[in-house]
Amino acid sequence: MNAVLALLLVVAAAMLVMSTRRLIAANRGSWLSYIRNPPVVPAGAIGLRALGGGISMFCAIVADLPNTWWATFVVLLAWLPALALQVWHNARNRPSPA
């Protein structure tokens, strides 16, 4: 059972990275907000993000971990690669001072 959940967590992380890559490709050269949608949202990017987030939540719930901190860690583990990709993109495209 744990191997299946680990595989699902990897699939969720891959979906989140694919979503972030689509957003970066559509908004090349512009800074991406961490809490809002970017100016251009390509088809399927939000769906991939929702599905990846849902699968990571499913893994955290079904894993039956001893406390809630481990479940939180499992969800963050799935989102970490996509967040790192967005941080890298934003470091390359800093907004100009107003």
- The answer to whether residue 97 sits within a structural domain is no
Domain count, the chain: 1
Residue 40 has pLDDT above 70, yes or no: yes
Domain span including residue 86: 2-32+42-92
Region 11-31: mean pLDDT is 93
- The answer to whether residue 47 sits within a structural domain is yes
pTM of the model: 0.87
Nearest to 79, CA basis, from 56, 96, 45, 47: 56
Summarised one tens digit per residue, pLDDT across range 69-92 is: 888 888 898 999 999 999 999 999
- The answer to whether residue 98 sits within a structural domain is no
